[in-house]
Chains A and B, each alone.
Chain A
Amino acid sequence: MKNYLKKYGIKLLAVVLVVALVTLVVASSGDGKAGVVEDTAGAVRSPFQKVAQALVSRVESFYGYLFDYEMLMQENENLRAQIADLEQQVRENEQAKIENEELREALNLQQKRSDFVMESAKIVSWNASNWASTFTISKGQESGIEIGDSVVTSYGVLVGTVSELGSNWATVDTVVDIGTSIGVLVGTEETSAMLLGDYTLMNSHYMKVSFVAESGQAITGDTVVTSGAGGRYPQGLLIGTVTSVHTEAAGQNEYAVVEPFTDLNALTQIFVIKDFEVIE
């Protein structure tokens, strides 16, 4: 052993010292720039370093995957919960925004028609039948609603009449229902006419106006509003516009097809007019 160390050890130590000394001299010789040896060494070392670094990264990420997995899962779960909460908030805000807008419009309507005593309600369900156009609202007798009360949108568009009443619900027949019969005024000349529900038009959400006045005439685009005659409906409630004018099968009378101002399918909130001033 001693012989071996003497034979190779001293030689090896000598070589190491020489190399170290040379390296030290080369490294400290410049002004910070790499020398030829260092540069060459760097060039040779670089690809290996890259490979090594990549390997280390892989190992580290694997290590992280193994040991941080639980933590990341938990964090992920928390973030998912946060996202769900935020989405819920956004939905609620959207709903509140729509409701707010409708209430603002209703306030405008209330300011315009100070004689109206209104009750807001939500549509709970629609009739599942092909033979009637009705919906159920979330308020009834307990809120002071009565049978025959007019139901309008926040813009003051007539959508129907209360036809059945429970303590905290009511059924509303829409204006397109076959049972509809309302005195109306048509166009700028305010021609008296009757708005009637027509079964052949009901499913496509249209109504029919038949003229009572002999001189009555309608033009496409005319506005139809309630006349208020008889005191059953408030005067001047918007209903719809005339989309076409036809002649009855008998060939003597004309009738107009009316499209409601409001899309009945999109209705969610309505206002029941519990009381109003009858204008004679």
Chain B
Amino acid sequence: MFVDLFHTKKLRLAFVYILFLMLVLFLQDTVLARMTVFGVKMMFIPAAIAAVGVHEGGFRGGLFGLLAGFLCDMTFTENTVLFTLLFPAIGFAAGMAADFMMNRSYIAYLFTAAACIVVTGCIQMIRVLVLQPSAVFYCLLIVVAQMLVSMPMAAVLYFPVEQIASRFEA
């Protein structure tokens, strides 16, 4: 039959991850957009990408990152293609790290997520440094602060991805 032509399980997995991404973007862009901790806003989308990379491997992590990056570039108006390029790399690197260097444990994920948020912050600050090179130390401070305030949310994101991955495991 027509349905047999498709990998329905893979399609369902993709659909669930798209829903998960929409939820994360909604939280990042609307609910928590105005919420600041010590004047710093959360940036936990890289952690969501890291979670997918850690549980699903580099390829799927990269695909998830690509979609997340594309949507983020439409949301974060200060960039044009920054996230579309950066997030697939983050997803792929997180998957690779989980496959070859680290394991898929919660602690390993937290380190990966923190690294992804820091890398994202460092890339984001380039625009500011181009306009104001003297603000480098302040920018680095914001990168660290951004990572710290995002970690509680990052810590939560591991669990839904773990659930999705284990439910669709072959």
A residues in contact (CB < 8 Å) with B:
125-132, 134, 136, 163-164, 171, 178-179, 197-200, 203-204, 249, 265
Most chain A beta-carbon neighbours within 10 Å: one of B34, B78, B135: B78
**Interface segment, B9-17, B48-56, B123-131, B152-160?**
B123-131
B interface list, Cβ under 8 A from A: 28-30, 32-34, 36, 39-41, 43, 75-78, 121, 124-125, 127-128, 131-132, 134-135, 138-139, 142, 146
Bound-state CA distance A171–B146 (Å) is 24
Contact of A128 among B32, B121, B128 (CB under 8 A): B32
B contact face: mostly helix, strand, loop, or mixed: helix
Interface contact A134-B77, CB-CB below 8 Å: yes
Least distance between B39 CB and chain A CB atoms (Å): 5
Which residue in A164, A178, A200, A249 is a CB contact (below 8 Å) of B77?
A164
Residues of A contacting B39 with CB < 8 Å?
203-204
Q: Is A131 in contact with B77, judged by CB distance below 8 angstroms?
A: no
User: What are 26 A-B contacts with C-beta separation under 8 Å?
Assistant: A125-B29, A127-B77, A128-B28, A128-B29, A128-B32, A128-B41, A128-B75, A129-B76, A129-B78, A130-B41, A130-B43, A130-B121, A130-B142, A130-B146, A131-B128, A131-B142, A132-B77, A134-B78, A163-B77, A164-B77, A178-B127, A178-B132, A197-B131, A199-B135, A200-B138, A203-B142
User: Which residues of chain A are near B134, meaning CB under 8 Å?
Assistant: 249
Alpha-carbon distance A265/B146, docked complex (angstroms): 20
Contact B41 A171 (CB under 8 A): no
User: B116 → chain A, closest Cβ, in Å?
Assistant: 16
* Nearest B residue to A128, CB-CB: B33
Q: Please indicate which of the listed interface residues A125, A126, A129, A134 has the most CB atoms of chain B within 10 Å of its own CB.
A: A129
Q: How far is the CB of B27 from chain A (nearest CB, A)?
A: 10
Q: Is the Cβ of A128 less than 8 Å from the Cβ of B76? A: yes
